[in-house]
Amino acid sequence: MLVESRVTFPWRPDGGKVAQRKSKALPTAGDVGYRVSIRIHDNEPGKYRDLLGHLVDPTHIQDKHGVRKAFDPQKIVAWRILER
């Protein structure tokens, strides 16, 4: 689903409105295989950790070196699909 972004670029002829994909609250089994960026709360208060790689299942990501990393979906602050 595409939604209108709040970010605008007024110098563009269309008024600068940008469409973007509305993300789901948490990754699901339907997102497996996509390359994703996930930001999660770290164990230290106020700190975050970023994960980048392919979603193996809703709780694991595989980085470019083939290393699988587990994460708690309830600690996700933000995530997005980058490419297939």
Asked if residue 48 lies in contact with residue 8, where contact means CB atoms within 8 angstroms, the answer is: no
Q: In a 10 Å sphere around its CB, with 0-12 CB exposed, 13-18 middle and 19+ buried, how is residue 39 labelled?
A: middle
The answer, as to whether pTM is greater than 0.75, is no
**8 is written with which tokens?**
């605008």
39-82 tens-digit pLDDT: 998 888 888 999 999 999 999 999 999 999 999 999 998 999 99
Choose the CATH number for 2-83 among 2.60.40, 3.10.50, 2.30.30, 3.30.300: 2.30.30
* Tens of pLDDT, residues 19-47: 444 455 789 888 999 999 999 988 888 88
